[in-house]
Amino acid sequence: MMKDNIYKLKEASRKYRLNNQYELTKNVLGYIKDRIKVNESEIRNLINLQKENITYEDIFSIINKEIEEDDSYKRYAKLKINQDKFLSTCIAMPIGVIAIEVYDTQEVIKWYIRAIKSRNAIAISDVEYAEDNVKSLVLLIIKEALKKFEISENLIMLLPYDECFYEYFDKVIYTYDDVGNHLEVPKTEGKEKTEEMYVYLEDESFKDEATKNRNAIILTGKIDEVIENINKKKTKGAVIYTKDVNKAYTFINLVNSENVFVNANLENVQDTIRKDKLLYEYKNIIIPIPQEATKELMHNSVNDENYKSEEKELVVKEEGILGKIKEFLRKLFT
Protein backbone atom coordinates (compact mmCIF):
# COMPACT_ATOMS: atom_id res chain seq x y z
CA MET A 1 0.00 0.00 0.00
CA MET A 2 2.79 2.43 0.90
CA LYS A 3 4.54 1.81 -2.42
CA ASP A 4 1.31 2.60 -4.27
CA ASN A 5 0.95 5.84 -2.34
CA ILE A 6 4.57 6.80 -2.98
CA TYR A 7 4.08 6.24 -6.70
CA LYS A 8 0.98 8.45 -6.69
CA LEU A 9 2.77 11.15 -4.69
CA LYS A 10 5.76 11.10 -7.06
CA GLU A 11 3.58 11.37 -10.14
CA ALA A 12 1.59 14.24 -8.63
CA SER A 13 4.72 16.19 -7.73
CA ARG A 14 6.36 15.42 -11.08
CA LYS A 15 3.51 16.83 -13.16
CA TYR A 16 3.09 19.91 -10.96
CA ARG A 17 6.83 20.69 -10.93
CA LEU A 18 7.07 20.43 -14.72
CA ASN A 19 4.22 22.89 -15.19
CA ASN A 20 5.98 26.25 -15.38
CA GLN A 21 2.82 28.37 -15.22
CA TYR A 22 3.74 30.61 -12.32
CA GLU A 23 0.20 31.98 -11.90
CA LEU A 24 -1.22 28.46 -11.49
CA THR A 25 -0.35 28.23 -7.79
CA LYS A 26 -1.76 31.68 -7.08
CA ASN A 27 -5.02 30.81 -8.83
CA VAL A 28 -5.39 27.49 -6.98
CA LEU A 29 -4.83 29.11 -3.60
CA GLY A 30 -7.33 31.87 -4.35
CA TYR A 31 -9.92 29.27 -5.31
CA ILE A 32 -9.26 27.31 -2.09
CA LYS A 33 -10.05 30.42 -0.02
CA ASP A 34 -13.32 30.80 -1.91
CA ARG A 35 -14.24 27.14 -1.36
CA ILE A 36 -13.50 27.35 2.37
CA LYS A 37 -15.96 30.26 2.54
CA VAL A 38 -18.60 28.34 0.56
CA ASN A 39 -18.24 25.35 2.90
CA GLU A 40 -18.30 27.42 6.10
CA SER A 41 -21.54 25.88 7.41
CA GLU A 42 -20.34 22.31 6.85
CA ILE A 43 -17.01 23.04 8.56
CA ARG A 44 -18.72 24.66 11.57
CA ASN A 45 -21.13 21.72 11.95
CA LEU A 46 -18.29 19.19 11.93
CA ILE A 47 -16.30 21.20 14.47
CA ASN A 48 -19.31 21.15 16.80
CA LEU A 49 -20.04 17.47 16.18
CA GLN A 50 -16.45 16.38 16.79
CA LYS A 51 -15.95 18.96 19.59
CA GLU A 52 -12.63 19.94 18.07
CA ASN A 53 -10.49 22.64 19.66
CA ILE A 54 -10.53 24.92 16.62
CA THR A 55 -12.93 27.43 15.05
CA TYR A 56 -13.87 28.17 11.48
CA GLU A 57 -12.22 31.57 11.91
CA ASP A 58 -8.99 29.82 12.95
CA ILE A 59 -9.02 27.69 9.80
CA PHE A 60 -9.65 30.59 7.46
CA SER A 61 -6.99 32.69 9.20
CA ILE A 62 -4.40 29.89 8.97
CA ILE A 63 -5.04 29.36 5.26
CA ASN A 64 -4.97 33.07 4.51
CA LYS A 65 -1.76 33.61 6.49
CA GLU A 66 0.02 30.69 4.79
CA ILE A 67 -1.02 31.95 1.37
CA GLU A 68 0.36 35.41 2.13
CA GLU A 69 3.60 34.07 3.64
CA ASP A 70 6.73 34.75 1.56
CA ASP A 71 7.94 31.68 -0.28
CA SER A 72 11.23 30.45 -1.76
CA TYR A 73 9.81 28.59 -4.74
CA LYS A 74 12.23 28.93 -7.68
CA ARG A 75 14.15 31.73 -6.01
CA TYR A 76 17.56 32.08 -7.57
CA ALA A 77 20.78 33.37 -6.08
CA LYS A 78 22.70 34.20 -9.25
CA LEU A 79 22.04 34.23 -12.96
CA LYS A 80 25.11 34.66 -15.13
CA ILE A 81 26.29 34.21 -18.67
CA ASN A 82 29.95 33.70 -19.54
CA GLN A 83 31.82 34.22 -22.79
CA ASP A 84 31.77 30.48 -23.49
CA LYS A 85 28.03 30.96 -24.02
CA PHE A 86 26.86 29.05 -20.97
CA LEU A 87 24.16 30.24 -18.63
CA SER A 88 24.60 29.44 -14.94
CA THR A 89 22.32 29.97 -12.00
CA CYS A 90 21.50 28.64 -8.53
CA ILE A 91 17.80 27.98 -7.90
CA ALA A 92 15.72 26.85 -4.91
CA MET A 93 13.87 23.80 -6.23
CA PRO A 94 11.23 21.45 -4.74
CA ILE A 95 12.60 18.26 -3.20
CA GLY A 96 9.96 15.78 -4.32
CA VAL A 97 8.04 13.53 -1.92
CA ILE A 98 8.07 14.57 1.74
CA ALA A 99 6.58 13.03 4.88
CA ILE A 100 5.55 15.42 7.68
CA GLU A 101 5.06 13.95 11.14
CA VAL A 102 2.35 16.21 12.53
CA TYR A 103 -1.13 15.81 14.03
CA ASP A 104 -2.38 19.16 15.41
CA THR A 105 -5.20 20.34 13.13
CA GLN A 106 -3.89 23.87 12.73
CA GLU A 107 -0.39 22.65 11.90
CA VAL A 108 -1.70 20.04 9.45
CA ILE A 109 -3.67 22.68 7.51
CA LYS A 110 -0.51 24.80 7.25
CA TRP A 111 1.30 21.93 5.56
CA TYR A 112 -1.56 21.45 3.10
CA ILE A 113 -1.00 24.98 1.82
CA ARG A 114 2.78 24.61 1.90
CA ALA A 115 2.56 21.56 -0.36
CA ILE A 116 0.71 23.57 -2.99
CA LYS A 117 3.06 26.56 -2.74
CA SER A 118 6.25 24.48 -2.82
CA ARG A 119 5.03 21.96 -5.46
CA ASN A 120 6.32 19.12 -3.31
CA ALA A 121 4.06 16.12 -2.76
CA ILE A 122 3.41 15.88 0.98
CA ALA A 123 2.11 13.01 3.08
CA ILE A 124 0.90 13.95 6.55
CA SER A 125 1.93 11.20 8.97
CA ASP A 126 -0.84 11.54 11.55
CA VAL A 127 -0.82 9.73 14.92
CA GLU A 128 -4.42 10.88 15.48
CA TYR A 129 -5.68 9.84 12.05
CA ALA A 130 -9.44 9.72 11.46
CA GLU A 131 -11.51 9.78 8.28
CA ASP A 132 -14.26 12.06 9.56
CA ASN A 133 -12.52 14.94 11.31
CA VAL A 134 -11.90 18.58 10.34
CA LYS A 135 -8.46 17.82 8.88
CA SER A 136 -10.05 15.34 6.48
CA LEU A 137 -12.84 17.72 5.49
CA VAL A 138 -10.45 20.61 4.76
CA LEU A 139 -8.27 18.27 2.71
CA LEU A 140 -11.31 17.10 0.73
CA ILE A 141 -12.12 20.73 -0.12
CA ILE A 142 -8.50 21.34 -1.15
CA LYS A 143 -8.41 18.20 -3.30
CA GLU A 144 -11.50 19.36 -5.19
CA ALA A 145 -9.74 22.66 -5.86
CA LEU A 146 -6.64 20.87 -7.15
CA LYS A 147 -8.71 18.77 -9.54
CA LYS A 148 -10.42 21.89 -10.93
CA PHE A 149 -7.01 23.19 -12.01
CA GLU A 150 -5.93 19.77 -13.33
CA ILE A 151 -3.44 19.19 -10.51
CA SER A 152 -3.45 15.68 -9.11
CA GLU A 153 -5.35 15.30 -5.83
CA ASN A 154 -2.55 12.93 -4.80
CA LEU A 155 -0.27 15.93 -4.20
CA ILE A 156 -1.40 15.82 -0.55
CA MET A 157 -2.23 12.72 1.50
CA LEU A 158 -3.39 12.35 5.07
CA LEU A 159 -2.18 8.95 6.28
CA PRO A 160 -2.08 7.03 9.56
CA TYR A 161 1.32 7.25 11.23
CA ASP A 162 1.80 3.48 11.17
CA GLU A 163 1.27 3.39 7.39
CA CYS A 164 4.05 5.89 6.62
CA PHE A 165 7.33 4.09 5.98
CA TYR A 166 9.84 6.89 5.91
CA GLU A 167 12.52 5.05 3.94
CA TYR A 168 10.45 5.62 0.77
CA PHE A 169 10.46 9.41 1.07
CA ASP A 170 12.94 11.98 -0.23
CA LYS A 171 12.75 13.81 3.09
CA VAL A 172 11.06 13.45 6.48
CA ILE A 173 10.16 16.44 8.66
CA TYR A 174 9.46 15.93 12.36
CA THR A 175 7.48 18.72 14.04
CA TYR A 176 7.32 17.05 17.45
CA ASP A 177 9.91 15.36 19.65
CA ASP A 178 9.68 11.78 20.95
CA VAL A 179 7.41 12.75 23.85
CA GLY A 180 5.03 14.92 21.83
CA ASN A 181 6.43 18.37 22.48
CA HIS A 182 6.22 20.79 19.57
CA LEU A 183 9.60 21.62 18.06
CA GLU A 184 10.26 25.29 17.36
CA VAL A 185 12.72 24.20 14.67
CA PRO A 186 11.61 20.99 12.89
CA LYS A 187 14.02 18.07 12.77
CA THR A 188 14.68 16.62 9.34
CA GLU A 189 16.08 13.51 7.71
CA GLY A 190 17.00 13.30 4.06
CA LYS A 191 18.58 10.93 1.61
CA GLU A 192 22.25 10.07 1.98
CA LYS A 193 24.58 12.54 0.29
CA THR A 194 27.26 11.20 -2.02
CA GLU A 195 30.12 12.59 -4.09
CA GLU A 196 29.06 10.39 -7.01
CA MET A 197 28.42 12.09 -10.36
CA TYR A 198 26.28 10.85 -13.24
CA VAL A 199 26.21 11.33 -16.98
CA TYR A 200 22.94 10.57 -18.75
CA LEU A 201 23.72 9.93 -22.41
CA GLU A 202 20.24 10.42 -23.82
CA ASP A 203 21.56 11.16 -27.32
CA GLU A 204 24.37 8.98 -28.67
CA SER A 205 25.69 11.81 -30.86
CA PHE A 206 27.15 13.32 -27.66
CA LYS A 207 29.12 10.18 -26.80
CA ASP A 208 32.55 11.76 -27.28
CA GLU A 209 31.65 14.73 -25.07
CA ALA A 210 30.01 12.54 -22.46
CA THR A 211 33.09 10.33 -22.02
CA LYS A 212 35.19 13.40 -21.18
CA ASN A 213 33.47 13.48 -17.78
CA ARG A 214 36.06 11.57 -15.82
CA ASN A 215 35.06 9.48 -12.79
CA ALA A 216 31.38 9.85 -13.65
CA ILE A 217 28.90 6.99 -14.00
CA ILE A 218 27.41 6.90 -17.51
CA LEU A 219 23.74 5.95 -17.76
CA THR A 220 21.51 5.27 -20.75
CA GLY A 221 17.87 4.27 -21.11
CA LYS A 222 14.49 5.85 -20.44
CA ILE A 223 14.64 9.20 -18.68
CA ASP A 224 12.26 8.28 -15.84
CA GLU A 225 14.31 5.19 -14.98
CA VAL A 226 17.56 7.17 -15.12
CA ILE A 227 16.21 9.89 -12.82
CA GLU A 228 14.92 7.25 -10.40
CA ASN A 229 18.38 5.67 -10.35
CA ILE A 230 20.17 8.97 -9.73
CA ASN A 231 17.72 10.03 -7.04
CA LYS A 232 18.42 7.06 -4.77
CA LYS A 233 20.90 9.41 -3.10
CA LYS A 234 21.59 13.15 -3.09
CA THR A 235 24.41 13.29 -5.63
CA LYS A 236 27.13 15.86 -6.22
CA GLY A 237 26.48 16.32 -9.93
CA ALA A 238 24.47 15.05 -12.90
CA VAL A 239 24.44 16.03 -16.57
CA ILE A 240 22.17 15.12 -19.45
CA TYR A 241 23.43 15.09 -23.04
CA THR A 242 20.44 15.60 -25.29
CA LYS A 243 18.84 17.62 -28.08
CA ASP A 244 15.35 17.22 -26.63
CA VAL A 245 14.17 20.37 -24.83
CA ASN A 246 11.48 18.55 -22.82
CA LYS A 247 13.90 15.90 -21.56
CA ALA A 248 16.45 18.56 -20.65
CA TYR A 249 13.81 20.52 -18.76
CA THR A 250 12.53 17.39 -17.01
CA PHE A 251 16.07 16.47 -15.96
CA ILE A 252 16.73 19.95 -14.52
CA ASN A 253 13.52 19.89 -12.50
CA LEU A 254 13.47 16.33 -11.19
CA VAL A 255 17.07 15.27 -10.54
CA ASN A 256 17.98 15.70 -6.86
CA SER A 257 21.58 16.72 -7.33
CA GLU A 258 23.60 19.68 -6.11
CA ASN A 259 24.70 20.40 -9.69
CA VAL A 260 22.45 19.71 -12.69
CA PHE A 261 23.79 20.46 -16.17
CA VAL A 262 22.66 20.20 -19.78
CA ASN A 263 25.37 19.38 -22.35
CA ALA A 264 28.07 20.80 -20.05
CA ASN A 265 31.09 19.06 -18.53
CA LEU A 266 30.89 18.10 -14.86
CA GLU A 267 34.29 19.64 -14.21
CA ASN A 268 32.26 22.77 -13.39
CA VAL A 269 30.55 21.28 -10.31
CA GLN A 270 30.72 23.39 -7.19
CA ASP A 271 29.15 23.70 -3.76
CA THR A 272 25.89 25.63 -3.73
CA ILE A 273 26.28 29.10 -2.28
CA ARG A 274 23.21 28.81 -0.07
CA LYS A 275 21.98 26.25 2.41
CA ASP A 276 18.94 24.17 1.50
CA LYS A 277 15.61 25.22 3.01
CA LEU A 278 12.97 23.07 4.70
CA LEU A 279 11.00 22.39 1.51
CA TYR A 280 13.64 23.24 -1.08
CA GLU A 281 17.15 22.38 -2.13
CA TYR A 282 19.43 24.68 -4.07
CA LYS A 283 20.75 23.45 -7.41
CA ASN A 284 23.56 24.87 -9.49
CA ILE A 285 22.35 24.75 -13.09
CA ILE A 286 24.45 25.22 -16.23
CA ILE A 287 23.07 25.13 -19.76
CA PRO A 288 24.41 26.21 -23.16
CA ILE A 289 22.44 29.00 -24.79
CA PRO A 290 22.07 29.86 -28.46
CA GLN A 291 23.62 32.93 -30.03
CA GLU A 292 20.35 34.82 -30.42
CA ALA A 293 19.48 34.25 -26.76
CA THR A 294 22.95 35.46 -25.78
CA LYS A 295 22.39 38.70 -27.67
CA GLU A 296 18.98 39.11 -26.05
CA LEU A 297 20.42 38.60 -22.59
CA MET A 298 23.29 40.98 -23.16
CA HIS A 299 20.91 43.62 -24.47
CA ASN A 300 18.54 43.33 -21.51
CA SER A 301 21.06 42.87 -18.71
CA VAL A 302 22.56 45.51 -16.48
CA ASN A 303 25.61 47.57 -17.51
CA ASP A 304 25.60 46.02 -20.97
CA GLU A 305 27.86 48.67 -22.42
CA ASN A 306 30.53 47.87 -19.82
CA TYR A 307 30.55 44.12 -20.42
CA LYS A 308 34.22 43.09 -20.54
CA SER A 309 34.61 40.40 -17.91
CA GLU A 310 34.35 36.64 -18.42
CA GLU A 311 30.89 36.51 -16.92
CA LYS A 312 28.10 38.89 -16.17
CA GLU A 313 25.15 38.90 -13.81
CA LEU A 314 21.73 39.12 -15.44
CA VAL A 315 18.31 40.33 -14.41
CA VAL A 316 15.28 38.05 -14.78
CA LYS A 317 12.12 38.09 -12.67
CA GLU A 318 12.22 35.29 -10.10
CA GLU A 319 8.92 33.78 -11.11
CA GLY A 320 10.06 33.45 -14.71
CA ILE A 321 13.48 31.87 -14.30
CA LEU A 322 12.71 28.26 -15.22
CA GLY A 323 10.37 29.34 -17.97
CA LYS A 324 13.23 31.43 -19.36
CA ILE A 325 15.56 28.44 -19.18
CA LYS A 326 13.07 26.32 -21.11
CA GLU A 327 12.79 29.09 -23.71
CA PHE A 328 16.58 29.12 -24.17
CA LEU A 329 16.66 25.35 -24.51
CA ARG A 330 13.92 25.46 -27.13
CA LYS A 331 15.90 28.00 -29.15
CA LEU A 332 19.04 25.90 -28.79
CA PHE A 333 17.50 22.64 -29.99
CA THR A 334 15.20 23.91 -32.78
In this structure, the answer to whether residues 61 and 203 fall within a common structural domain is no
- Across the chain, mean pLDDT equals 87
Q: How far from 18 is each of 71, 139, 198, 239, 252, CA to CA, in Å? A: 18, 23, 22, 18, 10
Q: Which of 281, 187, 191, 177 has its CA nearest to residue 231?
A: 191
Residue 65: helix, strand or coil by DSSP? helix
CATH of the domain at 107: 3.40.605.10
Q: What per-residue confidence (pLDDT) applies to 2?
A: 82
In this structure, the answer to whether residues 206 and 222 fall within a common structural domain is yes
Give the count of domains, the chain: 2
Host domain of residue 64: 2-71+96-190
- The residue that leads in pLDDT, 122 or 90, is 122
In this structure, the answer to whether residues 17 and 129 fall within a common structural domain is yes
In this structure, the answer to whether residues 160 and 237 fall within a common structural domain is no
Q: What is the pLDDT of residues 94-116, one digit of tens each?
A: 999 999 999 999 999 999 999 99
The answer on pLDDT for 301 being more than 70 is: no
- Range of weakest confidence among 141-150, 180-189, 307-316: 307-316
Mean pLDDT in residue range 194-201 = 96
In this structure, the answer to whether residues 241 and 225 fall within a common structural domain is yes
Q: What per-residue confidence (pLDDT) applies to 303?
A: 44
In this structure, the answer to whether residues 184 and 100 fall within a common structural domain is yes
Q: What is the pLDDT of residues 250-280, one digit of tens each?
A: 999 999 999 999 999 999 898 887 777 899 9
Q: What per-residue confidence (pLDDT) applies to 110?
A: 97
In this structure, the answer to whether residues 313 and 303 fall within a common structural domain is yes
Instruction: Place 298 in a pLDDT band, splitting at 50, 70 and 90.
Output: low
Is residue 260 within 8 A of residue 298, CB to CB? The reply is no
Q: Which of 25, 300, 332 has its CA nearest to residue 155?
A: 25
Which of 190, 213, 233 delimits the end of a domain?
190
In this structure, the answer to whether residues 20 and 82 fall within a common structural domain is no
Which of 166, 190, 214 delimits the end of a domain?
190
In this structure, the answer to whether residues 140 and 176 fall within a common structural domain is yes
In this structure, the answer to whether residues 86 and 151 fall within a common structural domain is no
Q: What per-residue confidence (pLDDT) applies to 306?
A: 40
Q: What per-residue confidence (pLDDT) applies to 60?
A: 97
Q: What per-residue confidence (pLDDT) applies to 320?
A: 60
In this structure, the answer to whether residues 112 and 132 fall within a common structural domain is yes
Instruction: Place 66 in a pLDDT band, splitting at 50, 70 and 90.
Output: very high
Which of 190, 205, 235 delimits the end of a domain?
190
In this structure, the answer to whether residues 177 and 262 fall within a common structural domain is no
